[in-house]
Structure 1
Amino acid sequence: MKYFEHESAATFDEAVSLLKESPKGKTVVMAGGSDLIGVLKEQILEDYPEKVVDLKTVRGGEYIKQDGDTIEIGALTKLCDIVKSDLLNEKAPVLSQAARSVATPLIRNVATMGGNICQDVRCWFYRYPHGIGGRMDCMRKGGKECYAVMGDNRYHSIFGGMKVHTTPCSVQCPANTDIPAYMERLRQGDVEGAAHILMEANPIPMITSRVCAHTCQEQCNRCGSDESVSIHGVERYVGDYILEHPDTFYRAPETETGHKVALVGAGPAGLSAAYYLRKAGHDVTVFDKMEEPGGMLTYAIPNYRLPKSYVKQVAAAYEKMGIRFRLGCCLGEDIQAEDLEKEYDNVFYATGAWKRPVLGFDGEEFTEFGLQFLMEVNQWMNKKDRRHVLVVGGGNVAMDVAITARRLGAESVTLACLESEPEMPASREEIARAREEGIEIMPSYGVSKAIYEGSQVTGMELMRCTYVKDENGRFNPRYDREETLRVSADSILMAAGQKVDLSFLGDKYGLALERGLIQVDKDTQATSKSGIYAGGDATTGPATVIQGVRSGRNAAEAINRGYAVMPERRREDKFIHFDTAGVKEEHAVKDKELSAAERALDKEDSFTLTGEEAAREAGRCMNCGCYSVNASDISPVLILLDARIVTTKKTVRAADFFTTRLKAADMLDTDELVTAVRFRVPEGYTTAYDKFRVREAVDFAIVSLAYAYRMKDGLIEDARIVLGGVAPVPMERKKVEAFLAGRKPDEALAEAAAELAVEGTAAMANNSYKIQEVRALIKKMILDMGAVQA
């Protein structure tokens, strides 16, 4: 073991003081030490304590006493004393039996009540020794995945897992969409439920699924072994379902708040904010200088990626919700910012980035702005007769420009960008699509100068870009000016970014700006002026559609909180599940696309998955969480007895202490200790503890059962049943308890109760036998009840 400082505490108060003195996580406590010593010796956790506070020297922590109808056990009471206690063997034998089942006599002589109920999980992936190939950083340790999903899971949960923290795919999604949750609803056949979860984070998934770079897929835990889940494909199916049922998903609010909100800009950020504000009951008006809503979605993204019919359908659904659009209305000309502020309670600016940036190279004036080219593509086609096109830029806009130019009939299209290919901001799919259509991509090249004769460009000189960002991650390209080349072109389209135009605000409006962008709080999108918010490209510069959606939602939620309108909280199931057969499928469903020869500018290149395909792909999602099982034999018993866990700060119901979080010890503050366990004597009840394990000693429960029952006139009057070793936390089977009430214990009842006890199980690849063991323990319990009565 590594070196650590050891301190002995004489009292719980002294131990708490020692914990408070140390930095968070740098001090741990040792009760009996039977668990902690193994954790430290094997170095299963990356953080190693600097100090261990020994509780074995604490005075008054070992006792078992009765006060009236209540029994209290000190947290430092050894398990061997619980086993031998005449009081417990008489009044609560279930607790003595559970203690007796723990490990071996040697371990029971040092292990304590408090240590047992706060012990760490026994999953072998979690416990894998650092000295044998390195520790396994599973999700429970802050890692990315649960190795039991695809690995050996014979001793793991049969009732599903529990969330540990936000999954990597959701973290990577700018909107933080709960991707695993809607995938699970799809696996259950609940498309509507999946859609509602998706719309909690994103009200326009039918659009984002078509144009988003879906960086979420890059963080899918399947990437390390085969292919990521096709999240965008599943999202597109659900998004189209939403659009097919607009009255279900875009409903007008039942009540009005009386507050008026103006949104300037009908692009992704504005549309997102409008939805969440209107849903809350506010009067919402969206202003935009263009003749149709959608912003870049309508005017810049080509039809082959996003047919405009989808944007129009969304706008129509919004209008049915009661959202008003004032189009063709230019801020700074038709209406002033000051007037909006007077007329509306809140204003949200999301005016986008439409302006051409000036790069300052020789001949720049003879090149064309790629975004303007996309907006006026038909005019360009009619008045331009160009054969060789050079596009400058490496994002999805540049790809759109290049592909559009190619489909308009250009003989050759070359694309040059500063970034190396792995660093290009364009999605992998768009890069592949460009190559399929014969576009030459030249990564790691920047502009030196345009080559021109008179006012006509004939090409461009490029120079090698050695790196794009500096050591601090800031955009600061460096070039090797000795390595240059010339590309012939009769048309050069600049698609290397756009600028934000905030001239509509005027000099006197007083909104704080930073580097030409509206300065906002990153969490609320609030500006320097009270009641005024901003989002989208106007605050970040050119960004993705989904980033705009997130900023709009942030602003709407902040405005809603100001009026005490809180977002609806979905009631989440305690346990999560995955499809055992589905996760074995290595290959993702492939996007169905037109062949390169069939593609055109006026029709969509790809097709939406069928419901069957979407459900099958959702089945590949591993629903990453923790699928280990609770380790303590004592915790199910304390839930059964409705015990109270007494700490140095509070008293908590055992059911809350053991089932709220994955690790019971996480219910404690870093300077908080368990001091005692307290419960009322279960008068009139027969109690017992049964445990299935491989060996009679040492082993932890594969399945355990703590139960209590009371009989009257040969019938079960009341029963309590708590299973252990079958889920991440102990499980009280309340349906079985209710089913048994008033019934006679016999073979038929045992069979029926056993089936009810395993309702909701979802065995993993190697542990279906545990379901049968649950049945067996339940049957034995009921038959034992009958035998006692006989």
Structure 2
Amino acid sequence: MKQFNHVNAASFEEAGRMLKDSKGAAQAMAGGSDLLGVYKDGILKTYPETVINLKKIPGFDVLEAQEDCLKIGAGCRLNRIAEEQAVKEACPALAEAAYSVASPLIRSIGTIGGNICQDVRCWYYRYPDSVGKALDCKRKGGKTCYAINGENRYHSVFGGMDCHGSPCARSCPAGTDVPGYMERLREGDWDGAARIILRYNPMPMMTSRICPHLCQDDCNQCTYGDSVNVHGVERSLGDYILEHAEEYYTAPEKESGRKAAIIGAGPGGLAAAYYLRKAGHRVVVYDRMEKAGGVLRYGIPHYRLPKDIVDAYVDALAHMGVEFRLGVCVGKDITVEEIQQESDSLYMGTGAWKQPVLGLEGENLTQFGLNFLVEVNTYLEKSMGSQVLVCGGGNVAMDVALTASRLGAEEVKLVCLEQEHEMPAASEEIARAKEEGVKLYNGWGLGRIVTDGSGKVTGLEAKKCLSVFNGEHRFSPVYDEEDRMVMDADTIILATGQRVDLSFLGERFGEQLQSARGLIDADTESFKTKKEGIYAGGDAVTGPDIAIRAIQAGRVAAAGMNRDLGGSEEDGPACGGVPCGSEEGSRSRCSGAGTGSNPFLHFDPKSVGTGISNKLQELPLEERSLVKEDAASFDRGTAMAEAGRCMNCGCYAVSPSDISPVLVMAEAEIVTTERTLSAEELLTRELTVQDILNPGELIKEIRVPRLKGRMHYDKKRVRDAIDFAIVSLASCLDVTDDVIQGVRLVYGGVAPVPYRMTHVEEFLKGRTITEEVAEAAAELAVRDARPMGKNEYKLFMMKDLMRNAILRARSGD
């Protein structure tokens, strides 16, 4: 045990202030058992610098029977609660629960406040030595709940609760609730899945085809085999949404009377247009090209993203009422000032389309990769030589190389600074290029363009690249200037990056909005610029990046614009712009989990053990072309099967408190240093009490009303004297002549929080107690259970406790 400072608090409020000011360096001590976990070696990594003693606070351990309730101080010890006649008379179930907690030694130091504030309990907390001592499980901020694919005999039979977000959602720049829509698909609810994904990304039919799917890199299934094929599932869901566009892209029910303008019809602009129009605003989109889509239309080959999909999405927005003014060059045909004057809010997402100047000798004899793709995507043809050399290592370079190959080039080579494992291009795109005969030359930089003297390109002189990044992983290539080679080529295409062109801003807006980096100066969290009412996002703010980040910027900016325009939060994008994968955004999942008909997270215990993912079916090499899509989407059955592999990462442990189920059953009130909460609000809404309480907020007092009826707390455990509940049931039945007038039933040990059986209560009210009624209620209690594999035995315990609780209330029993 490490040395610590000890402070006696004069009041709960003073203790709360000290805890808040310590910023996590202090720990409150109410009894003694609450410090056991803090100082237990090998379980927790952090130790408090100061222990704040609450035991000297006046009223700390009060236990007083009042006319309408029991008033119990948070520091009242469990042995006193178990023995006091006043408790046995007012709420006998509470006395039974206090007595059942553990050994007399633990009860003599444990407090009621400490008991209800306990962390969740599972095998990996009980026996850490069996799995290598301390574990960074999901509850402790790690990536996974080990029970999903491991020991789960003591875990929840009703599902889990989210904590710390999910790895896939955190990795997705848009924060998409991937586990949320996967769960809907497992249940066959395609409409529910569609509505979830559209809250974060209005064009999944496109991102699923072009995104580098960062979500899959962090998928917890990677520990056991292949990641979940998220982009494959998303693709089928996106296709479903587009097939039913009239249901998901509908005009708003009411108009706000406000107008939003968008400059740039690329992924960010089209995302902002969707959310703003959905919120009821008039939306006008300006773009210099003849068709909307930006890079989606002009920068990505047909074989990766068919243009009829882009057209269908744009048509869907137009059906919503979005106005497109295409072929309009902002800065020439109309100024930014004019657009701003005509609008109430403005978003700029113009992308990165300008060729960077490398200063390469003979650079004027090369082609710009993005221009090359635009021309091919527009006309599906392009004249070029037989020997093509592509310079660059990203996805654009891969697209250029494959397009050149499919146009009929005899030889396509690709040269880049990075070694293959360092290349920014997606691994499958690299593999596809190699499969189609593109020759990779890794670790070479650009020296000069070689000509035959008449200005005709004959090759590239390349120089050896020794390293690409410095010690801080910043781009800082180092070359061996003496190690050079000439690569033959008659066509050289530079795909080494793009630049942002802000000339459209004009002089006044250019001075106000342009940063020293040549980008639009906007806050990268809200995407607000310094100019009131103007937002910007995507490549114009960050420099060249992937489409999903532009979509996220458009969504977040739309949320801010919607607020500025007086729109409601309900009409705006998901979480008001907060990604669901973030700590804040994750709180939206499973709110109010302790009531209702199984609102917890679920997974398929059989399917999560499948280590091999379903793969998209690709065209044979000889059938691939410029216009036909390379891969086919999953059918719905395959998509649902792959969704079954999703682990729905959350915490599947159970609440260890014996007192909490009783307080929820008894409709108790919890008084803190800041407010009064019902037990249901405090103990069932989030995974732990700490997730509800504010920093420094302490529980002061518990008020237990006098309820009418027979109350009991029944508990199944491994060892009668000292163990936590495997399954417990807090019950109150108000019975007259064997007819149930009122009933409250709350289980413990079966879910991450106490679980109130409201549907069983509704079934029992007004019924006469019989063996058949008790049996039916027992079956109803486990109706929504989702055992994990090794904990199915808990269902038998649940039914046994329920039957006994009901029959015990019958006269004569």
Please report the TM-score for the alignment, with normalisation by the length of structure 1: 0.96
* Alignment match, 1:626: 651
Q: 1:666 to 1:293 in 2, by over 3 A?
A: closer
- Size of the alignment, in residue pairs? 787
* Alignment match, 1:152: 151
* Alignment match, 1:274: 273
Residue type of the partner of 1:368?
A: Q
* Alignment match, 2:114: 115
In 2, Cα distance between equivalents of 1:613 and 1:767 = 29
* Alignment match, 2:781: 757
* Alignment match, 1:436: 435
The answer as to 2:594 corresponding to 1:582 is no
The answer as to 2:227 corresponding to 1:228 is yes
Shift of residue 378 of structure 1? 8.0
Residue type of the partner of 1:496?
A: T
Q: 1:512 to 1:744 in 2, by over 3 A?
A: same
In 2, Cα distance between equivalents of 1:200 and 1:208 = 14
Report if aligned partners of 1:557, 1:566 keep a CA contact under 8 Å in 2.
Answer: no
Shift of residue 709 of structure 1? 1.1
The answer as to 2:204 corresponding to 1:205 is yes
In 2, Cα distance between equivalents of 1:340 and 1:379 = 28
1:735 paired residue among 759, 776, 779: 759
* Alignment match, 1:466: 466
Counterpart secondary structure, 2:762: helix
In 2, Cα distance between equivalents of 1:28 and 1:465 = 54
Q: 1:513 to 1:451 in 2, by over 3 A?
A: same
Map 1:246-645 onto structure 2 (within 5 A).
246-377=245-376, 384-453=383-452, 454-509=454-509, 510-514=511-515, 515-568=517-570, 573=590, 574=593, 575-645=600-670
In 2, Cα distance between equivalents of 1:201 and 1:319 = 20
Counterpart secondary structure, 2:478: strand
1:748 paired residue among 749, 772, 776: 772
In 2, Cα distance between equivalents of 1:555 and 1:317 = 21
Counterpart secondary structure, 2:680: helix
**Which string of whole-angstrom CA distances, capped at 9 and with x for unpartnered residues, describes residues 626-668 of structure 1?**
0000000001111111111122222221111101221113333
Report if aligned partners of 2:744, 2:761 keep a CA contact under 8 Å in 1.
Answer: yes
Moved more, 729-738 or 481-490: 481-490
In 2, Cα distance between equivalents of 1:382 and 1:342 = 42
Shift of residue 444 of structure 1? 2.6
Q: 1:681 to 1:339 in 2, by over 3 A?
A: same
In 1, Cα distance between equivalents of 2:52 and 2:128 = 23
Moved more, 5-14 or 699-708: 5-14
Residue type of the partner of 2:339?
A: L
Report if aligned partners of 2:256, 2:567 keep a CA contact under 8 Å in 1.
Answer: no
State the superposition RMSD in angstroms: 1.9
**Which string of whole-angstrom CA distances, capped at 9 and with x for unpartnered residues, describes residues 389-434 of structure 1?**
1111111110000001111122221112222322222111111111
Shift of residue 206 of structure 1? 0.5
Map 1:13-28 onto structure 2 (within 5 A).
13-22=13-22, 24-28=23-27
Q: 1:785 to 1:384 in 2, by over 3 A?
A: same
Gaps of 5+ in 2: 576-587, 594-599
In 1, Cα distance between equivalents of 2:286 and 2:744 = 61
Shift of residue 6 of structure 1? 3.2
Q: 1:379 to 1:178 in 2, by over 3 A?
A: closer
Counterpart secondary structure, 2:396: helix
In 1, Cα distance between equivalents of 2:561 and 2:777 = 52
Shift of residue 722 of structure 1? 0.6
Counterpart secondary structure, 1:518: coil
Shift of residue 35 of structure 1? 4.1
In 1, Cα distance between equivalents of 2:563 and 2:20 = 35
Shift of residue 129 of structure 1? 4.7
Moved more, 68-77 or 276-285: 68-77
Shift of residue 307 of structure 1? 0.8
Moved more, 733-742 or 519-528: 519-528
The answer as to 2:161 corresponding to 1:136 is no
Residue type of the partner of 2:797?
A: E
Report if aligned partners of 2:64, 2:72 keep a CA contact under 8 Å in 1.
Answer: yes
Residue type of the partner of 1:26?
A: A
Q: 1:234 to 1:149 in 2, by over 3 A?
A: same
In 2, Cα distance between equivalents of 1:601 and 1:88 = 79
Shift of residue 246 of structure 1? 0.8
* Alignment match, 2:182: 183
* Alignment match, 1:781: 805
In 2, Cα distance between equivalents of 1:679 and 1:484 = 83
Report if aligned partners of 1:128, 1:135 keep a CA contact under 8 Å in 2.
Answer: no
1:654 paired residue among 676, 679, 687: 679
In 2, Cα distance between equivalents of 1:184 and 1:781 = 34
Q: 1:210 to 1:382 in 2, by over 3 A?
A: closer
The answer as to 2:714 corresponding to 1:677 is no
Residue type of the partner of 1:512?
A: L
Moved more, 519-528 or 302-311: 519-528
In 2, Cα distance between equivalents of 1:561 and 1:435 = 49
Q: 1:130 to 1:533 in 2, by over 3 A?
A: farther
Report if aligned partners of 2:301, 2:403 keep a CA contact under 8 Å in 1.
Answer: yes
In 2, Cα distance between equivalents of 1:147 and 1:531 = 48
Counterpart secondary structure, 1:539: helix
In 2, Cα distance between equivalents of 1:238 and 1:378 = 26
Q: 1:18 to 1:385 in 2, by over 3 A?
A: closer
Q: 1:385 to 1:54 in 2, by over 3 A?
A: closer
Residue type of the partner of 1:587?
A: I
Report if aligned partners of 2:301, 2:377 keep a CA contact under 8 Å in 1.
Answer: no
* Alignment match, 1:722: 746
Counterpart secondary structure, 2:561: helix
Gaps of 5+ in 1: none
1:701 paired residue among 709, 725, 730: 725
Residue type of the partner of 2:746?
A: V
Report if aligned partners of 1:126, 1:138 keep a CA contact under 8 Å in 2.
Answer: no
Shift of residue 589 of structure 1? 0.3
Counterpart secondary structure, 1:425: coil
Counterpart secondary structure, 1:706: strand
In 1, Cα distance between equivalents of 2:500 and 2:535 = 16
Residue type of the partner of 1:253?
A: P
In 2, Cα distance between equivalents of 1:415 and 1:272 = 34
Counterpart secondary structure, 1:517: coil
Residue type of the partner of 2:608?
A: V
Counterpart secondary structure, 2:361: coil
Counterpart secondary structure, 1:626: coil
Report if aligned partners of 1:98, 1:637 keep a CA contact under 8 Å in 2.
Answer: yes
In 2, Cα distance between equivalents of 1:192 and 1:379 = 35
Shift of residue 147 of structure 1? 0.8
Report if aligned partners of 2:252, 2:320 keep a CA contact under 8 Å in 1.
Answer: yes
Report if aligned partners of 2:669, 2:677 keep a CA contact under 8 Å in 1.
Answer: yes
In 1, Cα distance between equivalents of 2:377 and 2:280 = 41
Counterpart secondary structure, 1:602: coil
* Alignment match, 1:689: 713
In 1, Cα distance between equivalents of 2:459 and 2:77 = 84
Counterpart secondary structure, 1:511: helix
Residue type of the partner of 1:251?
A: T
Residue type of the partner of 1:199?
A: L
In 2, Cα distance between equivalents of 1:715 and 1:11 = 48
Shift of residue 117 of structure 1? 1.1
Report if aligned partners of 1:268, 1:295 keep a CA contact under 8 Å in 2.
Answer: yes
Please report the TM-score for the alignment, with normalisation by the length of structure 2: 0.94
Shift of residue 474 of structure 1? 3.5
In 1, Cα distance between equivalents of 2:207 and 2:732 = 54
Q: 1:670 to 1:325 in 2, by over 3 A?
A: closer
**Which string of whole-angstrom CA distances, capped at 9 and with x for unpartnered residues, describes residues 228-285 of structure 1?**
0000000000000011011001101111111112211111111111111111111111
* Alignment match, 2:581: none
